[in-house]
Amino acid sequence: MAQYRTRRAPLDGVLLIDKPAGCTSHDVVARVRRALRPVVTKVGHAGTLDPFATGLLIVLVGRTTKLARFFVDLPKEYVCTLQFGWTSDTGDRTGDLVASGRATSLDELSAALPRFLGRISQRVPMTSAVKVDGERLYRKAHRGEVVETPIKEIEISAIDVLDFDPAALSSTCRVLCSKGTYVRQLAIDIGQALGAGAYVASLARAAIGPFRLEDAQTLSECEESVGARETDDERIPGLVSPAEALQFMPALTVTAAQVAAVRNGARLPGGPPHPVRLLFRGELLAVYGPVEDGPGLRPLVML
């Protein structure tokens, strides 16, 4: 994916970061923001990764933070290691681990996985950031509280077994899923289905929509490259422009005569029944979506 070279807004765009284990997604955002100050103060991310997890984190810089929801909605790909024969109250290696005394096999795992494919219901884990009674569940969990958590509809399009170690009772799997899927809860549910228990021993996000982990830079590389810039308006290495970052979304190119109307939030006639990015000379002006009460397009996000 090409890097952003536009002069008008060199510090608006998307950074692909390979999040290391041991830090939160908020920690990554804080470090990027600190590296970019005082030129840029608005930095966010699109999709949280647990502290123990690694992999692709989309970091939004400048005005691109307005576009977070479009990245959050993209499907995800994870590579995880499932440890069988144990249970964890958090579904991962950071929880309280209890041996189940039960083993499983590759044949049993392969037979169980199809029931977790397609559109399924999944209970939100206590360690999630979902709010119940106005408070995030993980805060309740930290106090030792246990409450009835919501059930969400998710979609899992694939669970591929990459390897299975019968001696260690572990398996590495590739999971393709919709937003809102908790791989930790998936491990718990698979373990229960097998009667052996399971938790996530390692978890890495390999992709978010068209964005791949192999195209990401480490957090340290990002900080070093930002610190090495000679001028504040110099392009950030690895920064992808808003227009290019939204390439998964259909585009409409507006004319010079339409630019002023678009920047004022005017509705446009016609258009598809889904969000589109409006471009002028390659620059993203806005994201428009269908009008609810009739034909045409209305502004969803203005840049």
Active-site residue numbers?
A: 50
Give the closest residue to 233 by CA, choosing from 33, 1, 3, 12: 12
Using an 8 Å Cβ cutoff, are 50 and 33 in contact? no
β-strands 198-208, 54-61: how paired?
parallel
Q: Which residues pair with 152 in a beta bridge?
A: 122
**Angle at Cα 195 formed by Cα 193 and Cα 201, nearest 5°?**
85
Q: Which two tokens stand for residue 237?
A: 């290495």
Query: What residue spans of 113-270 are helical by DSSP H?
Result: 137-142, 183-194, 219-227, 242-245, 256-263
Q: Which two tokens stand for residue 218?
A: 């480490």
Residue reference for tokens 């170690």: 165
Q: Which residues pair with 158 in a beta bridge?
A: 176
What is the identity of the amino acid at 262?
V
Q: Using the 8-state DSSP alphabet, how is residue 40 labeled? A: -
Angle between helices 219-227 and 25-36 (to 10 degrees): 10
The 3-state DSSP class for residue 146 equals coil
Give the closest residue to 53 by CA, choosing from 206, 179, 177, 160: 206
Give the closest residue to 160 by CA, choosing from 91, 113, 203, 107: 113
What is the identity of the amino acid at 191?
G
Residue reference for tokens 């090409």: 2
